[in-house]
C-alpha cells in the first residue's frame, strides 16, 4: 500500500507570495491532518479534515487554509508568505478517529 | 501552554544500553498516546502507541510505560542500536484526531 505522498518536496518562495501544497493520503484513509514543523516550535497542528469537512483548526492565522476533495486528497494554502512561515509542512492521514497518524515526508518551504 | 512536555532534549546511550524518554501531559481527556521516530529528511513514523486503560505495552525492543494517575508516560528502548539514532516524539490525542506533540528527543546511540 502506498504511503502518504506530499508534493512538492521543496519550495522556495518570496515574501508576499502564496503557495499551495498537496497531499495524497493512504488509500482508504478519510482523515487528513496538516502539521508545521520548525526547530523552535516543534510539531504544531494546523488543521484536520474528514470527508471534506474541516473538523479542527490550530492556532494559526487565517493566511493558512486548506481543503479536502472527495477523493480524500488535500491541499493547504498559505497566502502573503512571511519569513517565519519557513518550515517543514507535514501531512498525515488516518483511517478513522482513534487510529494512528501516518505521515508523509513533508514539503520543505523556504521563504526568502 | 505546552500540552505535552518531553524530556530529555537529547540523549547519548552506548550500544546495548537502555534509552528512556519521558513525557507528561495535562489534559485528562487525551485518549491515545503514540510515539514517533523521525530520521533526517523523513516524516515521523509511528513506533508504538498506548491507550490510557493499559499500563504497559511492549513491541520488540520498544516498551511504553503509562501512569494515568501521574499523567506521565515513557518510552524504553532496550538493547539500543546505532540504527535507533533518530529524533523521538511523544504525542497525545485530543478530539477529532488533533494531536499534541512533545518537543522531541534526539537520541544518539554510540557504537
Question: What is the mean predicted confidence (pLDDT) over B1-25?
Answer: 95
pLDDT tens per residue, range A28-52: 999 999 999 999 889 999 999 999 9
Read off the C-alpha cell for A34.
Answer: 496538516
Q: Which residues of A touch B101 (CB under 8 A)?
A: 35, 42-43
- A-B Cβ pairs (cutoff 8 Å, strict): 57
**Spatial contact of A28 and A104, defined as CB atoms under 8 Å apart:** no
Q: Which residue of B has its CA nearest to A57?
A: B98
pLDDT tens per residue, range B35-93: 999 999 999 999 999 999 999 999 999 999 999 999 999 999 999 999 999 999 999 99
pLDDT for A92: 97
Residue of A10, A26, A35, A42 to mutate, testing the B interface (most B Cβ within 10 Å of its Cβ): A42
Say which residue the cell 479536502 belongs to. A68
Secondary structure of residue A85 in the 3-state scheme: helix
**Spatial contact of B90 and B4, defined as CB atoms under 8 Å apart:** yes
pLDDT tens per residue, range A51-99: 999 999 999 999 999 999 999 999 999 999 999 999 999 999 998 877 8
pLDDT band, residue A20 (cuts 50/70/90): very high
Amino acid at each position: 500500500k502506498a504511503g502518504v505522498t506530499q508534493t512538492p518536496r521543496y519550495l522556495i518562495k518570496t515574501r508576499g507570495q502564496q503557495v499551495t501544497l498537496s497531499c495524497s493520503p493512504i488509500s482508504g484513509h478519510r482523515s487528513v491532518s496538516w502539521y508545521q514543523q520548525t526547530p523552535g516550535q516543534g510539531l504544531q497542528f494546523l488543521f484536520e479534515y474528514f470527508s471534506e469537512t474541516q473538523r479542527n483548526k490550530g492556532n494559526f492565522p487565517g493566511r493558512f487554509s486548506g481543503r479536502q476533495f472527495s477523493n480524500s486528497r488535500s491541499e493547504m494554502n498559505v497566502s502573503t508568505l512571511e519569513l517565519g512561515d519557513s518550515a517543514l509542512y507535514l501531512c498525515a492521514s488516518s483511517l478513522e478517529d482513534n487510529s494512528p497518524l501516518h505521515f508523509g515526508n513533508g514539503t520543505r518551504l523556504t521563504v526568502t | 501552554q505546552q500540552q505535552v512536555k518531553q524530556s530529555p532534549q537529547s540523549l547519548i546511550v552506548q550500544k546495548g544500553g537502555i534509552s528512556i524518554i519521558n513525557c507528561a501531559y495535562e489534559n485528562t481527556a487525551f485518549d491515545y498516546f503514540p510515539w514517533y521516530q523521525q530520521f533526517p529528511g523523513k516524516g515521523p513514523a509511528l513506533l508504538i502507541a498506548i491507550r490510557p486503560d493499559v499500563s504497559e505495552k511492549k513491541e520488540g525492543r520498544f516498551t511504553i510505560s503509562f501512569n494515568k494517575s501521574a499523567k506521565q508516560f515513557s518510552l524504553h528502548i532496550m538493547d539500543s542500536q546505532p540504527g535507533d539514532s533518530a529524533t523521538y516524539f511523544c504525542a497525545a490525542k485530543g478530539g477529532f484526531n488533533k494531536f499534541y506533540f512533545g518537543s522531541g528527543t534526539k537520541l544518539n546511540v554510540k557504537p
